[in-house]
Each structure stands twice: as structure tokens, then as C-alpha cells.
Amino acid sequence: MEERLTEDLLARLLAAPNPDSYLGEGLTLQRSLADYLHELLAAKGLKRADVYRASGLNSTVVYDAFSGKSRLGRDNALMVAFGLGCSLSETQRLLKLAGAAELYPKVRRDAIIIWCIDRGMSREACDDELWRFGEKTLLGTCPLQ
């Protein structure tokens, strides 16, 4: 099934006489974070080992996320997104499925991360940019001000 735009789905939901009629159309998804991570892994032709190396995370954190054993915090989810080489829309979806806030361009740190993702930068390069602007890096360090 082709995935529809969220705005279109919201319009259909709000126009429905009741939730049953909307839900009966079969337009909702039951996708877990682990399912989405496996989809991305397959689509990008990567192995989990590639992801944990590129993300900078401990292998256990990555493997547990892929198996659905644990949830990722926001920065860990971002690091996995970098490890997978996600686009901005893939990163936003990964964050949503991880139960974390999406990147928001009005937030200085998020704006830097968005810029880095859009340019296909690595997690290390993104951390360099965050450091350069005095923001907390994804690995959790902050330059002295």
C-alpha cells in the first residue's frame, strides 16, 4: 500500500462521522521502531554492525533497538539515524517511532543537526558542527564556553 501524507489522513479522519469509519478504511499503520529500523537496513543494504560503527553507539544499544528490547533516547535515535545514513524525513519518522521529539528548526541545536542530515554528513561531522557552535554534541559533550 502506498503511504499517504499525514495531512491527507488527518483531513479524512476529521471528515469521518466517527472513528470507526476512518479506522475501517485501513489507513493506519502498526509499525514498530524495530520494524522500521529493519526496513531502513534492508533498503540501504547495510548490516547492523555498519550502523553501530557509524553511529558511535555501543553495539548492545543498537542490537537491542533492532530487536525491540529497548527504546532509544532522542540523541541515540539521532545517532542511529546517522549510522543508517537517513534522510531528514526518515530521521523524523525514526524519532517519532522512538517516542522522541522530531527535529525542530526553531531550536538552535536541532537546526544544526537538520543542516547536517540534509547534507549527508556523518555523525562525527555533525558533532564537529555542534561543537563549533557551542552546542551539546550527540555523544554528550559540550564545549567550554
Q: For residue 1, what pLDDT is reported?
A: 45
| pLDDT of 12 | 87
Can you tell me the distance from the alpha carbon of 49 to that of 109, in angstroms, rounded to the nearest whole number? 28
- What's the confidence (pLDDT) of residue 125? 96
Residue with cell string 500500500: 1
pLDDT digits (tens, 9 = 90+) for 25-53: 777 767 899 999 999 999 999 999 999 99
- Nearest 5 degrees, angle CA 120-CA 47-CA 30? 85
Residue 4 has a pLDDT of 63
Ranges of the chain with pLDDT below 70:
1-4, 29, 141-145
Q: Which part of the chain has CATH 1.10.260? A: 31-132
At 28, list the grid cell. Answer: 493506519
The three three-digit cell numbers of residue 85, written as one number: 545514513
> Following DSSP, what letter does each residue of 94-117 receive, concatenated?
HHHHTT-PPP-TTSHHHHHHHHHH
pLDDT at 145: 46
> What are the φ/ψ torsions at residue 71 (nearest 5 degrees)?
-95, 150
Query: What DSSP state is assigned to residue 85?
Result: T
The dotted CATH code for 31-132 is 1.10.260
CB 105 within 8 A of CB 118: no
